[in-house]
Structure 1
């Protein structure tokens, strides 16, 4: 066979094979007050991904046996139990056996990060969080959707975020971070203080997080729901007060590299994106250009 013909056929074969190979599957986790399949939120996101990445498999996580349970569990099922349930779902989904990309919306962002840290098999390749509260919240959250539980939750967080029964039974309390009392937060937070390695430095968490190709954090510049908004980029209030906000790079978590984020930063694995909108508000064009085309195809 002519060498030139062989080269052409070789390149054609592998180009064809690459084009016919479907994109890596996607796992999505919704935020507070939402559910897996709301046609106005994650249902819409799923459709956009499928339309722009033909052949892609998208698993929008449902926590519970029904849509109602899925919504309620976002308020009242311990975050650690939710993460454990998702780890089982991901491990038992044959479509994900070779790895997947993950999209976490609002509190689903820090929960999927916990999945990456605790459950490395099957592997998560890219993690994108939209308005995630990675350093927690210190402000009264709004649901973003009409929901009967919101006022009740705001009252509980105001008066007893670190009461044991509140920590165990109220999801939002599990990522409540009081900068005025860091010791109480570290000792009593049942979820966030652990996944942020603020008690015992779990080297497995660091090792697993470093396996990500990219950790993308999307911050909403006009967010009126998350306080402080800088937590969406892993920033937070300087300890001891609730006025001055410091960046991730100025935090002890980064300086001491308690999660491996400093290493990831040096390796170019951390990506910080900003959108001029309120919580979880972005256009389809922005999403396709900045997320689908860059991290999901």
Structure 2
């Protein structure tokens, strides 16, 4: 959820880059680096993202000279120093154009919209920004952090023009979240946490909340599947769990990825279950049975193309430290 490029520690705590309300300046062009210098900087870049550098290599190795687009997590902003630094360095290291597309045109708007702009509008905003950037017209690779992974996934399934070739998803709630952010029903406060989730459950699926709270758009509470399918306006459509006219196109576009790399944090305390970052999730009825990704209904039925990618060898799962 709140994933900052400047966050520290492996626990997935909600630590975001310092808020500033200014436009970032383009980085000065650096002299050509040696192989050793480039390797060292890749490792530093990977550490800032809290992933291993080989994961980044896998995600971009088929991308060639394609541009790179970042989408940040909840509570962060493309205008924050940490996110801006990672974006700038990634382009310098790979020798490509890189940009971060957020949810607004300045830091306060970008941060606020991450909470109060629903996910469908965030995806539409992302698509408009992509299409307005001539440097992205031939396609790009994408890196999403937490909530930003769903923005990119939504873009791929709904638009993908220009196309995403490689997609690196870092600690994303890709299969949904079963509780409130930082509210883990299996922890020592599990009883209170589950009660809080139960209380907000009905409200989360109301039209008002679905239209104005982004995090409600990927809330999928076990035991509330009927309400989820009937009222959630975002995730059931990406998963093709409900009938809609664009279901075939969604699947075709997602399955067209050249490379999909899914990163899960070992000690994530922000999203529950943390395995959602690998498309694993609970069965529909309870918190008791956590299904691996290849046993979920979406995978078995190949509802949105994940099985197609896995069978083609185009998807990779990894854990961050």
Question: Given that residues 88 and 98 in structure 2 are in contact (C-alpha distance below 8 angstroms), is that contact kept between their aligned partners in structure 1?
Answer: no
Q: CA deviation at 1:226?
A: 0.8
Question: Given that residues 132 and 231 in structure 1 are in contact (C-alpha distance below 8 angstroms), is that contact kept between their aligned partners in structure 2?
Answer: yes
TM-score (ref. length: structure 1)? 0.78
Q: CA deviation at 1:73?
A: 0.2
Residue equivalent to 1:270: 315
Q: CA deviation at 1:48?
A: 3.1
Q: CA deviation at 1:186?
A: 0.9
Q: CA deviation at 1:141?
A: 0.6
Secondary structure of the 2:151 match is helix
Among 238, 248, 251, the alignment partner of 1:195 is 238
Question: Given that residues 140 and 158 in structure 1 are in contact (C-alpha distance below 8 angstroms), is that contact kept between their aligned partners in structure 2?
Answer: no
Question: Given that residues 156 and 166 in structure 1 are in contact (C-alpha distance below 8 angstroms), is that contact kept between their aligned partners in structure 2?
Answer: no
Q: Which moved more, 1:196-205 or 1:168-177?
A: 196-205
Question: Given that residues 29 and 60 in structure 1 are in contact (C-alpha distance below 8 angstroms), is that contact kept between their aligned partners in structure 2?
Answer: yes
Q: CA deviation at 1:173?
A: 0.4
Question: Given that residues 141 and 154 in structure 1 are in contact (C-alpha distance below 8 angstroms), is that contact kept between their aligned partners in structure 2?
Answer: no
Separation in 2, partners of 1:121, 1:217: 22
Larger radius of gyration: 1
Residue equivalent to 1:49: 90
Q: Report the CA distance shift for 1:247/1:211 in structure 2 as closer, same or farther (over 3 A).
A: same
Q: Deviations over 1:154-178 (max 9, x none)?
A: 8984562112101111000010001
1:253 aligns with 2:298: yes
Q: Which moved more, 1:155-164 or 1:81-90?
A: 155-164
Q: Report the CA distance shift for 1:133/1:90 in structure 2 as closer, same or farther (over 3 A).
A: same
Q: CA deviation at 1:50?
A: 2.8
Separation in 2, partners of 1:237, 1:64: 34
Residue equivalent to 2:68: 26
Residue equivalent to 2:215: 172
User: Unaligned stretches of 5+ in structure 1?
Assistant: 1-21, 144-152, 277-297
Q: CA deviation at 1:51?
A: 3.5
User: Unaligned stretches of 5+ in structure 2?
Assistant: 1-63, 184-195
Residue equivalent to 1:185: 228
Q: Report the CA distance shift for 1:157/1:109 in structure 2 as closer, same or farther (over 3 A).
A: farther
1:161 aligns with 2:208: no
* Aligned-pair Cα RMSD in Å: 2.1
Among 279, 295, 303, the alignment partner of 1:234 is 279
Q: Report the CA distance shift for 1:32/1:154 in structure 2 as closer, same or farther (over 3 A).
A: farther
Residue equivalent to 1:10: none
Aligned 1:147-158 pairs, distance under 5 A: 157=200
Residue equivalent to 1:112: 152
1:92 aligns with 2:132: yes
TM-score (ref. length: structure 2)? 0.72
Q: Report the CA distance shift for 1:156/1:122 in structure 2 as closer, same or farther (over 3 A).
A: farther
Separation in 2, partners of 1:81, 1:47: 26
Q: Deviations over 1:99-148 (max 9, x none)?
A: 100011101001101101111211110011111111110122149xxxxx
Residue equivalent to 1:82: 122
Q: Deviations over 1:150-207 (max 9, x none)?
A: xxx9898456211210111100001000111211111111111111111016000011
Q: Report the CA distance shift for 1:157/1:270 in structure 2 as closer, same or farther (over 3 A).
A: farther
Number of aligned residue pairs: 245
Separation in 2, partners of 1:84, 1:157: 27
Moved over 6 A (4+): 153-156
1:219 aligns with 2:264: yes
Separation in 2, partners of 1:154, 1:251: 23
Q: CA deviation at 1:65?
A: 2.6
Separation in 1, partners of 2:294, 2:91: 36
Residue equivalent to 2:171: 131
